[in-house]
């Protein structure tokens, strides 16, 4: 499925987008990756959506990535005798382990691990931050608080603890079961919620056992503080701005987003910008101007992908939301200012032979009349490094591994082509030339850049760059081996 843009689009599936016709329509409208939200839907429903995606992939002969997003631990208050209470500024309020129904003075918080980590002066946020409590005194069984932002508190509302690292694993018992289930189905990316430390990621990687790439969601202040270590052990990152905006001052989120996106690019790891991107399109066929600007800013920053959540999962206009994102992306990437920003933010780190090869490929492509950069990759690493360069010409990632082609659907600018096992570089060049012509990116009179590693099918061996004609007859004449 040829796109007229480089940034990728992630669409979440749900009740509004669970049929073959809708999922195919979303892919044709521009969705490159489908997100399965494990917070909603039974295993049977998830399995059915997975099956439909793979059928669409087969019918359209277009690699599609599937991202399963684990729920993570959910911290919630208990229930109230009256269903809800109104908390006023300056009033005392107590959280404890007593399971008795709550009232205006207290409620159960059935998470002893929170009390173990709290200290006086810490802040507790309830109901997406609408209610703010300051901890005055605490013990392993309670927290005595003062209301510093009041409002209605009701049954089972969520609690955020932004000031401390909680002694909680990122994977709950439900998450462990879900992880094994979706990895057994054959997903491509596994998104981890509630990541606070690199150990959270390594635990999930061990459980996944190589069956899926690991994507860490940055949604807690602790994850921002530990970002370098988390990025090092992750295959990709999601900037989950919803929870970040609850647990951090909202004005902190935009600069954090920019720093994280740029750092991911420097490490050649894909990064998704997510949450509330076109939220008004849940109920409206048109986005707000502010939402369009928000999507545009993520693209200008160089994000690999932008994501729709409820807009495509439960909204009234899922295809229109994807089409809108696609149209915004095409317009932004055709803006000369976009190129200026992307190239000004390019890092110049050269640590390996592969780094030098892909940098040279981009420079050659931009200083001569080159139609595409074709990279042969067995693990996806070379294609990711080419994408880090953000070249002006298309990137054709050629691989014999279906799973690699699917995972690269999340990486900026990559168009994946399946190829057979190769033993000789000349045959790789011929296959690349044919792929470029088949994609309509060049003719027999054009030239391409080809990168590969010899010996083939060994990750991390990128060591060859060649400028080649798109006419395989010329390739055979100039390279008779």
Distance of CA 305 to the CA centre of its chain: 7
Catalytically annotated residue among 3, 74, 76, 259: 76
Q: Confidence class of residue 462 from pLDDT cuts 50, 70 and 90?
A: confident
> DSSP H helical segments within 41-159, as ranges?
43-60, 112-117
Short-list 376, 398, 395, 386, CA closest to 355: 386
pLDDT of 139: 96
Compute the mean pLDDT over every residue in the chain, rounded to the nearest whole number: 94
Per-residue pLDDT at 71 exceeds 80: yes
State yes or no: is 346 an active-site residue.
no
Q: How far apart are CA 258 and CA 250, in angstroms?
A: 14
For the ranges 61-70, 363-372, 413-422, 455-464, the lowest mean pLDDT is seen at: 455-464
**Backbone CA torsion sign across 415, 206, 261, 278:** positive
Say what percent of the chain tops pLDDT 70: 98
Report the pLDDT value the prediction gives residue 478, as an integer from 0 to 100: 61
CB 442 within 8 A of CB 465: no
Whether the predicted pLDDT of 213 surpasses 50: yes
Give pLDDT, residue 472. Answer: 79
Each residue's pLDDT tens digit, 247-289: 999 999 999 999 999 999 999 999 999 999 999 999 999 999 9
Catalytically annotated residue among 24, 35, 132, 265: 35
Alpha-carbon distance of 413 to 14, in angstroms, equals 27
Cα–Cα dist 321/281, whole Å: 6
Rounded Cα–Cα distance for residues 49 and 68 (Å):
11
Assign 454 a pLDDT band (cuts: 50, 70, 90): confident
* CA atoms of 275 and 254, how far apart (whole Å): 13
**Angle at the Cα of 260 from the Cα atoms of 274 and 205, rounded to 5 degrees:** 75
H-run or E-run covering 290: helix 289-300
Given 8, 217, 265, 406, the catalytic residue: 217
Domain 8-72+170-335's class? alpha beta
Find all residues with CB under 8 Å of 450, minimum gap 6, and list them: 374, 375, 376, 428, 429, 432, 464, 465, 466, 467, 468
CA distance 3 to 123: 46
Q: Are 448 and 372 in contact (CB under 8 A)?
A: yes
List the one residue out of 113, 109, 80, 82 whose CA is nearest residue 97: 109
Helix 253-266, helix 289-300: angle, nearest 10: 30
Mean pLDDT of all residues in 285-306: 97
Stretch(es) of the chain classified as CATH 2.40.33.10: 84-160
pTM for the whole thing?
A: 0.93
Tokens coding 138: 């605490």
- How far is C-alpha 259 from the geometric centre of its chain's CA atoms? 16
Task: Give the end-to-end CA distance of the chain in Å, rounded to a whole number.
Answer: 34
State residue 476's pLDDT score: 65
Active site (annotated) includes residue 371: no
Question: By the 8 A CB rule, do 190 and 66 touch?
Answer: no
User: 306, 276 in Cβ contact below 8 A?
Assistant: no
Per the CB < 8 A criterion, the answer to whether 158 and 74 are in contact is yes
- pLDDT > 50? residue 480: no
- Position 421 scores a pLDDT of 81
Name the CATH topology of 353-478. Answer: Pyruvate Kinase; Chain: A, domain 1 (3.40.1380)
d(CA 42, CA 162): 30
Q: Does domain 84-160 have CATH number 2.60.40.1170?
A: no
Strands of 370-376's sheet in order across: 414-418, 395-399, 370-376, 447-453, 462-469
Residue of 353 and 192 predicted with greater confidence: 192
pLDDT at 463 over 90: no
Burial call 271-297: b when 16+ CB within 10 Å, e when fewer? bbbbbebbbbbbeeeebeeebbebbbe
Q: Which pairs with CB-CB distance under 8 Å and at least 24 residues apart come from 202-205?
A: 202/233, 203/169, 203/170, 203/171, 204/70, 204/170, 204/171, 204/179, 205/233
- So what's the pLDDT on residue 441? 93
Strands (E), 140-196: 142-149, 151-154, 159-160, 189-192
The Cβ-side half-sphere exposure at 199, using a 13 Å CA radius, reads 5
Residues of the chain with CATH 3.20.20.60: 8-72+170-335
- Tell whether the model's pLDDT for residue 354 goes beyond 60: yes
- Of 152, 110, 114, the C-alpha closest to 131 is 152
pLDDT value for 479: 57
Locate 174 and state its tokens: 């439900």
Q: Which helix (H) or strand (E) holds 272?
A: strand 271-274
Percent of the chain with pLDDT over 90: 86
* pLDDT exceeds cutoff 50 at 400: yes
Which regions of 335-433 does DSSP assign to beta strands (E)?
370-376, 395-399, 414-418
Instruction: Collect all residues with Cβ–Cβ distance below 8 Å to 348 and sequence separation of at least 6.
Output: 359
> Tens of pLDDT along 24-47?
999 999 999 999 999 998 999 999
d(CA 115, CA 145): 12
Domain with CATH 3.40.1380.20 in the chain: 353-478
Out of 123, 275, 324, 419, the active site residue is 275
| Distance, CA of 294 to CA of 128 (rounded, Å) | 21
DSSP state for residue 158 in the 8-state scheme: B
CA 225/CA 31 separation, integer angstroms? 32
Residue 76 annotated as catalytic: yes
Q: Is 437 a catalytic residue?
A: no
For the stretch 220-241, pLDDT in tens is 999 999 999 999 999 999 999 9
CA distance 33 to 369: 32
């Amino acid at each position: 499925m040829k796109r007229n843009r480089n940034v990728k689009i992630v669409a979440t599936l749900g009740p509004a987008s669970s049929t073959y016709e809708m999922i195919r329509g979303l892919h044709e409208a521009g969705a490159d990756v489908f997100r399965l939200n494990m917070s909603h839907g039974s295993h049977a429903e998830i399995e059915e959506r997975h099956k439909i995606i793979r059928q669409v992939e087969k019918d359209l002969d277009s690699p599609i990535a599937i991202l399963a997003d684990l729920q993570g631990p959910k911290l919630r208050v208990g229930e109230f005798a009256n269903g809800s209470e109104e908390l006023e500024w300056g009033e005392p309020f107590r959280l404890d382990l007593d399971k008795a129904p709550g009232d205006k003075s207290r409620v159960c918080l059935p998470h002893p691990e929170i009390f173990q980590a709290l200290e006086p002066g810490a802040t507790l946020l309830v109901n997406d931050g609408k209610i703010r409590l300051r901890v005055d005194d605490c013990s392993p069984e309670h927290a005595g608080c003062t209301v510093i932002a009041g409002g209605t508190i009701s049954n089972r509302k969520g609690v955020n603890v932004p000031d401390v690292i909680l002694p909680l694993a990122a994977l709950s018992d439900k998450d462990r079961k879900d992880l094994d289930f979706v990895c057994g189905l054959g997903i491509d990316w596994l998104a981890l919620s509630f990541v606070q430390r690199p150990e959270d990621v390594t635990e999930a990687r061990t459980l996944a056992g190589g069956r899926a790439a690991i994507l860490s969601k940055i949604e807690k202040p602790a994850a921002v503080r530990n970002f370098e270590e988390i990025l090092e052990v992750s295959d990709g990152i999601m900037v989950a701005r919803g929870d970040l905006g609850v647990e951090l001052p909202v004005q902190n989120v935009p600069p954090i987003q920019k720093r994280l996106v740029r750092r991911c690019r420097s490490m050649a790891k894909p990064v998704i910008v997510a949450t509330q991107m076109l939220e008004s399109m849940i109920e409206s066929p048109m986005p707000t101007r502010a939402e369009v600007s928000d999507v545009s800013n993520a693209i200008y920053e160089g994000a690999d992908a932008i994501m729709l959540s409820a807009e495509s999962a439960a909204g009234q206009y899922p295809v229109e939301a994807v089409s809108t994102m696609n149209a915004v992306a095409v317009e932004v990437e055709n803006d000369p200012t976009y190129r200026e920003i992307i190239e000004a933010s390019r890092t110049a780190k050269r640590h390996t032979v592969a780094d030098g090869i892909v940098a040279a490929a981009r420079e050659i492509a931009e200083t001569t009349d080159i139609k595409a950069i074709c990279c042969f990759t067995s693990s996806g690493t070379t294609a990711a490094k080419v994408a880090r360069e953000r070249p002006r010409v298309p990137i054709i990632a050629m691989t014999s591994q279906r799973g690699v082609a699917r995972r690269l659907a999340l990486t900026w600018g990559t168009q994946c082509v399946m190829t057979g096992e190769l033993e000789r570089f000349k045959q790789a060049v011929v296959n690349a030339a044919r792929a470029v012509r088949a994609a309509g990116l060049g003719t027999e009179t054009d030239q391409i850049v080809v990168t590969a590693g010899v010996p083939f099918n060994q990750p991390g061996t990128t060591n060859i760059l060649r400028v080649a004609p798109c006419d395989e007859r010329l390739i055979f004449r100039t390279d008779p081996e």
